[in-house]
Chains A and B, each alone.
Chain A
C-alpha cells in the first residue's frame, strides 16, 4: 500500500465517519398548511389541507411536525419543542400529539406548564391567567420511548395576526 492509497483510504474513512455522525436517529419534518373547503367527487364539501401559501391576517395555519425514528435503536425521553412563530397566535386546544403530554411556555421557553397553571404579570405586577396569545412555545413530551421505525405527527393551529 503506497502512501497515495493510504491517503485515499484515510479520506474515505473520514468521510464515512462524518456521514455516520451526520445521521441522527430521528427525522423531523416541519410543515405549515391551511385548510380549504373543496368539493369532492361526490359533490360534498370537504376540508382539504394545502401548503400555507396565501396567508393573510386572520388565516388559520396548521403547523405539523412529522417525526420518524429512522434508526435501529429506541429513542427515549423524546421531547419536541416548537417556538410559536412571530405574528402567529395559538388557537386554544388546538395542540395534538398521540401519547404526549402537551405543555406551553409563556416565558420564551424557560418554563413549561399546562394552560391552567400558566400566568402572566402586568406592568403593576398583578397576576393574570395566561391567554393563548401569551404562549411562546409548545412542547410535546412523549410518554413512551419511540422504537425503531416509530412515526407520527404532533401539531397545533395558530392564526396570523
Chain B
C-alpha cells in the first residue's frame, strides 16, 4: 500500500513539473508573434572578421565587405547593409459586443458605435477612415448568435460622423478602450493622425435615429481604415494604395510591404491591400405598445339576465395598453371620451398597472381642454377620462383604464 502511494505522489510531482515546464516554454518562446517589429528605416548592418596566422605569425585581421575585402586592418572593411522596409499591417475591430441600444431610440441624437484601430505594422502611419453605411439587407456581424446575422432596415437621418478619441492612442498591448465623451470633446476627423507602431486608438461612428423607427430596427455600419503615410502631424498623409511588390528591389530604400488581414468590407477580399474593416450595428430600443378597447354590456333597465343596448343600459369600457418592447414606456396616458348619447357613471373608474405604479385618474368637462383629479359632482358633465402612468414596464408591462357609461 505504502509503495503505491509513493508512486502516485511521484507521478503527480512529475506531472506538475511537466506542466510548469510547459508554462515556462509558453512564456519564454512566443513563437510566430512579431508584435513589436523592428521599425522601418532601421539599418541592419553586418560585418564579419577573419583572423589567421601564416607560419606562426599572427596576421592583421581582415574585415568583410559587400563586394569582398582583402585589406587588413580594423577599419578597412565595410558593412553589408539593408534597411528594414515598411510592413503595413493594421486591424480594425468593433468594441461592441452586441448591437448597441444605449441611447438608440426614435429621435435619439449622437447614437454611438465604437471601434478600435491598431497599427500592427512597423512604422508610424496615418489611417484614413470611412464609415460604411450598409443598405437594407442581411449582414454578418462579429457578434455572438443570434446577433451574428442582422437585417439592416434603416439609416441615419443625419450626416454620419466619425470621431477619433481625444484621449489619444496608447500601446496595443493592454489597450483600454475609451468611452464616448460627446461631440466637441472627441475629434471629428476622418483620419487617425500619427499612430505609432503597436499603438491603438478608439474611433466612434455617430448617427441620429429617425423618429419613425420602431423597437428592434437595425442599422448596420462598418468602419474601414486605410493606411496612409505618417510623418506630417496635423493633416492626413497620402493614402498607400499599393505596395512595392511589383517594383525593383532596393536595399537602400524603405519599401512598402502589405501584410494586413482581410477585413469584412475590404476592397480586396483576397490579398492584403492596406485596408482593414469591421462592422457594428445600432438596434432601436423603445416601447412597443398595443392598445385594446373592449366593451361589455353590464345591465339594462329590464334587469334581464341577457341585457340589451337599450336606453338606461350600462356599458363598461376597458382600455388596455400592453408594452412588449425593450424599453419602459414613460408618462403613458390612456385617454378616452364619453361618447355622444351616453353618460358617465359616477365612481365607475378603475385603473391598474402591473408594475406597482398607481395611475393618476383625471376628468375633463370641456372636451379635454382642462383636467382635474376631482370627479365632478354631476357625472353628466364628464366629457373625457384619462389615466396617467408614470411608466409601463418593458417586455410584459400592462396598464388599464376601466369606466362605465349609461346609454341615454
Contact = CB atoms under 8 A, between A and B. Distances in A.
Contacts of B62: 24-28
B29 A57 contact: no
A155 B63 CA distance: 15
A87 to B, nearest CB: 4
B64 interface: yes
B135 interface: no
Contact of A53 (B37, B49, B122, B251): B251
B122 A32 contact: no
B64 A74 contact: no
B28 interface: yes
Interface of B: 28-29, 34, 36-38, 40, 42, 44-55, 59-60, 62-72, 77, 80-87, 122, 244-245, 249-251, 255, 257, 259
A65 B64 contact: yes
B255 A54 contact: yes
Given A75-B59, A131-B29, 9 more contacts: A29-B68, A32-B82, A55-B84, A56-B84, A58-B87, A67-B50, A71-B54, A75-B52, A85-B45
A117 to B, nearest CB: 19
B63 A31 contact: no
Top 3 closest pairs, chain A to chain B, by CB: A57-B37, A30-B64, A56-B87
Nearest to B257: A56
A158 to B, nearest CB: 9
Interface of A: 22-32, 50-58, 61, 63, 65-68, 70-71, 73-83, 85-88, 131, 146, 160-161
Given A30-B65, A81-B49, A160-B44, A24 B70 contact: yes
A146 B51 CA distance: 12
B148 to A, nearest CB: 32
A77 B34 contact: no
Nearest to B78: A30
B259 A88 contact: no
Nearest to B87: A56
Given A22-B71, A32-B80, A56 B46 contact: no
Contacts of B45: 85-86
A80 B42 contact: no
A86 to B, nearest CB: 7
Given A31-B66, A65-B48, A55 B37 contact: no
B71 to A, nearest CB: 5
B52 A77 contact: yes
A55 B83 CA distance: 7
A55 B82 CA distance: 8
A76 B64 contact: no
A57 B34 contact: yes
Contact of A57 (B60, B64, B84): B84
A111 to B, nearest CB: 16
A161 B52 contact: no
Contact of B71 (A23, A77, A131): A23
A112 B73 CA distance: 23
